[in-house]
Structure 1
Amino acid sequence: MPDMIPRPQPTAFALAIGLSLSLSACGGGNSASNATSDNGVFASSSDTPTGDAPKTAAPTLAQGPDVCFRAIAKQLGADVKVSEINSFFSPGSKIDASDDEPEGELTTCSVKYQNPEDPRKLLSISMDTHTGTFGKPAPVEISVSGGDASKFKLEDILIPLSTVNAAGLTSIMESQKAKLSSVYSHYAWSGVRLLSPRFSDVHTLRVDVDGRLASNDIKENGYLSILTDGKTVKINRLTP
């Protein structure tokens, strides 16, 4: 007789768990990315960096861990909805001999945010840290894997910039000095980022550190994962 025992079917992953995003800025011309918005979200031609833009002193971590976040708010508005923000700082030559920039100098400041002319899409802009100006917006391609792409909603990975308390990270970073000094002979904060949800439903702030281990001078790194209130530490992996 034929086998009548029902065979188990593969279990489908829940969208909230199996969904992953690949966000990459696309080059090439795009009318939306090159247009100037009436509400000032896009940089006007006078705000767009040019080859002969005067150089200024680069922003530094001494101006606050939110120095890039404030620049983005000034450029796009405090209530712009963002997916992720990346700001990186030079750890200095004491930690990385190939690093030419002074310790604490901002080297990267970029953001992916909701396109105000098409809320289904993202745009990306980056700062020229030597002039303090942002380039023209570039479109971001979104791809979905591990879930039904037709169910994806951009709103699920967006957060108003005004609700992200990156300035509050100062207190947390100060509170880690004793722990870091007991492990590293020299250390420097090298990144402050806003990470979009991947396998959870919330954005998180991430603070990166680079240092030289006091025990053997080996270069090591670590990080803190913090809720967007800028106060609640989720993960502390600053030291080995």
Structure 2
Amino acid sequence: MDPHRARSFGSAATQYALHRPGYPDAAVDWALAPLPGGAGLQLLDLAAGTGKLTTSLLPRGTVVAVEPDPAMRAELRTRVPGVDAREGSAEEIPLPDAAVDAVLVGQAWHWFDPERAYAEIARVLRPGGVLAALWNGDDAHVEWVRGFHEAGAWASHVVREPDDEPRLPDHPAFTQDGYAQFANLVPTTVDGLVATLRTHSWALTAEPDEREAALARLRAYLATRPETASGEFELPLVTDVVRMLRR
């Protein structure tokens, strides 16, 4: 975890809310599948950001959204009026013991201190409860998608190898309970993709000249590709979900 990069998102909270993708319903349903159906679930969106995952969770239960960054939390309250949004972190969750049926983490597990986070998540989860981490990422099976990462050559390799499966570290309080991946096609434009990339931590923390050079290389590459040369296209994202159960 790079603390500087972990704390960088608040400076772009509004743009993050505008340009970052949400999560497919199928991915959220799979994450919660071990739990009984109905709207009576108590759910925690941990490191909730601007509420991308919170929005998907609200129809499925009562949601508490915990977010450490005040600017991101303010944007969340604007985007999701009435949400129970609290200051806190994975390492210090502002909830009592055994308070929730599921803890969901969207696009944030890699910023946590794992041992401290596991202890806190185990504390607030009921026995048999779900811990699910979700990530949206570019589909590395698609050749032109791999190509735009190579063309940009930015300081963070944000597209993983096609056959790599993410996994959370083992912990005695949890049982591994599987992994699934879901298509998440996002209609966008060249300008939209560039705007999204500007909300990534590598761009927020890069030297301005380096960031603009990387984005210029990306634009030049996209202009050469038949999939994107018109300026409008579908970006083939995938949503990875890793699920664990509280012992």
Q: TM-score range by the shorter chain?
A: under 0.3
Larger fraction in helix: 2
Larger fraction in strand: 1
For the pair shown, the structure with the greater C-alpha radius of gyration is 1
Higher relative contact order structure (alpha carbons within 8 Å, sequence separation ≥ 6): 2
